[in-house]
């Protein structure tokens, strides 16, 4: 078989749209590669080839997917979306917030499993077997209370003991029970320095020393994919030493990437619910305008302006973040609903700036693309919190894409059943 992009794509059963979404390029670009006009990156060909080999030789009981995963602390499904794009199938979801559950259900309506609530109340044995564990776990201080008492009693304590009482402990107990081939954990960049570094030391110690995983961590800025400075730490682990090198994985330079104008509502867009409205002038040459409710009131704008001026005079860096069309935004936070100060859109001379709409926040986080438009079934306040707590989806897609060959390699090394051959159970 000719090793061309088109032949590998069609052999895998991927549509042009599937390939465009997976590799993060336009449909037009995929069509060009199919026609032999321009050469795709070698890693794209290798990825397609690895997937094809795996599909031909191994059957893990999920013929429509390449691997299975569970989605813990799922939020609104940003991590899931990235690993589904890599060919994974979600077999379990846990999220305690009822409003996040609502958004999650709206965007994954065909699930064959219910969303589980509080993970601390779920037994590890009640969670389905899976190949990859995914978790954007909340960061909590790891208490050292009781350690001195254990020392006094002559009782040993390990990293897992130290993590008890935190939500990370639930990740550990599930990993310990199921021993999946790999995991990916996500958290804020400051996790490394949290609690004077003790939290991060505890996390790595538990994963490496007590559970035996080969673990690497890396901070990645989403600015190469979306017009937002958003650094997050990602911790990746494999049960087997399959040769995965996180530092060798290529990600776009944070100085490149799109600018804020690419995610803003355009005049030609059709009106959408409460985000945009038809123009008041019926003869206007635009299809819609941003709802005026997102423009800051005179009172709020004066407060933010005066607050920034006061702190600037004191030499502090506090203040609002005003974005022009060619700028990149600060990090969208869960508090954005309060005043929107970290990302304000300049509306020109004589007009107060405005907040982003929730639809623009979806685009800023990479949820919306040419093949998918995020459903936002909650209030603006809830939506701002959900997007502010979420992940940059294209970053997750790229991590998943680069992890995938090593996940398949790990599964292959376990000795999968080759179709047509009998499995002999060990006596």
C-alpha separations of 242 from 66, 123, 133, 250 in Å: 17, 30, 17, 18
Whether 318 contacts 304, CB under 8 Å:
no
Q: Per-residue pLDDT tens for 359-412? A: 999 999 999 987 789 999 999 999 999 999 999 999 999 999 999 999 998 888
Q: How many CA atoms lie within 13 A of 42 on its CB side?
A: 1
217 and 306 share a domain?
no
User: Residue 43's CB: how many other CB atoms inside 10 A?
Assistant: 14
Average pLDDT, the chain: 83
| CB distance 176 to 169 below 8 Å | no
From CA 207, how far away is CA 272, in angstroms rounded?
A: 46
3-state secondary structure of 186: strand
Is 139 designated active site? Answer: yes
Here the CATH number for the domain that contains residue 272 is 3.90.120
Give residue-wise pLDDT tens across range 264-285.
999 888 998 889 998 877 667 8
CA 85 to chain centre: 12
Two tokens, residue 27: 């449909």
Tell me the CATH number at 107: 3.40.50.150
DSSP letter for each residue of 196-242: GGHHHHHHHHIIIIIT--EEEEEEEEGGGTSSB--EEEEEEEESS--
Provide the domain limits for residue 311: 265-324+335-387
**Domain-located, residue 307:** yes
In a domain, 211, yes or no: yes
Active-site entry in 90, 139, 323, 361: 139
Determine what percent of the chain is predicted with pLDDT higher than 70. Answer: 83
Cβ-based burial of 361 (10 A; exposed 0-12, middle 13-18, buried ≥19)? buried
**224 and 164 in one domain?**
yes
Residue holding tokens 């080759």?
418
Q: Which distant-in-sequence residues (6+ apart) come within 8 Å of 309 by Cβ?
A: none
The pTM assigned to this predicted structure is: 0.79
pLDDT at 280: 79
Q: Is the pLDDT of residue 97 over 90?
A: yes
pLDDT for 181-218, tens place per residue?
A: 999 999 988 888 887 888 888 889 889 998 999 999 99
Helix axes of 380-388 and 98-107: crossing angle, nearest 10 degrees: 80
User: How many domains does the chain contain in total?
Assistant: 2
């Amino acid at each position: 078989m000719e090793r061309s992009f088109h032949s590998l794509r069609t052999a895998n059963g991927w549509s042009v749209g599937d390939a465009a979404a997976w590799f993060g390029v336009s449909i037009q670009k995929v069509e060009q590669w199919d026609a032999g006009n321009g050469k795709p990156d070698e890693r794209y060909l290798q990825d397609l080839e690895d997937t094809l080999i795996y599909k031909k030789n191994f059957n893990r009981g999920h013929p429509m997917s390449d691997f299975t995963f569970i989605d813990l602390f799922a939020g609104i499904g940003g991590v899931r979306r990235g690993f589904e794009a890599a060919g994974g199938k979600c077999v379990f979801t846990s999220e305690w917030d009822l409003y996040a559950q609502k958004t999650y259900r709206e965007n994954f309506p065909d699930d064959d499993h219910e969303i589980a609530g509080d993970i601390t109340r779920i037994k590890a044995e009640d969670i389905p077997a899976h190949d990859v564990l995914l978790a954007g776990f909340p960061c909590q201080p790891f208490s050292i209370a009781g350690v001195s008492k254990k020392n006094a009693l002559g009782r040993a304590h390990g990293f897992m003991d130290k993590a008890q009482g935190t939500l990370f402990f639930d990740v550990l107990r599930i990993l310990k029970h199921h021993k999946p081939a790999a995991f990916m954990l996500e958290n804020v960049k400051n996790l490394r320095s949290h609690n004077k570094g003790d939290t991060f030391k505890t996390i790595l110690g538990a994963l490496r020393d007590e559970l035996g995983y080969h673990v690497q961590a890396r901070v990645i800025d989403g600015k190469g994919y979306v017009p937002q400075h958003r650094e997050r730490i990602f911790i990746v682990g494999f049960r087997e030493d399959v040769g995965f090198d996180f530092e060798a994985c290529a990600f776009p330079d944070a100085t490149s990437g799109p600018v804020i104008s690419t995610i803003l509502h355009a005049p030609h867009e059709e009106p959408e619910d409460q985000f945009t409205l038809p123009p008041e002038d019926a003869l206007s040459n635009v299809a819609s305008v941003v709802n005026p409710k997102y423009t800051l009131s005179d009172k709020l704008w004066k407060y933010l302006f005066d607050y920034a001026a006061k702190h600037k005079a004191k030499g502090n860096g506090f203040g609002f973040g005003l974005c022009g069309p060619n700028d990149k935004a600060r990090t969208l936070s869960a508090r954005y609903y309060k005043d929107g100060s970290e990302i304000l859109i300049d509306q020109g001379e004589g007009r107060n700036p405005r907040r982003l709409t929730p639809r623009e926040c979806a685009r800023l986080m990479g949820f919306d693309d040419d093949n998918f438009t995020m459903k936002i079934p909650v209030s603006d306040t809830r939506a701002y919190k959900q997007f502010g707590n979420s992940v940059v989806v294209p970053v997750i897609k790229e991590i998943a894409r680069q992890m995938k060959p090593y996940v398949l390699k790990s599964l292959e090394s376990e000795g999968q059943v080759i179709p047509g051959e009998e499995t002999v159970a060990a006596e």
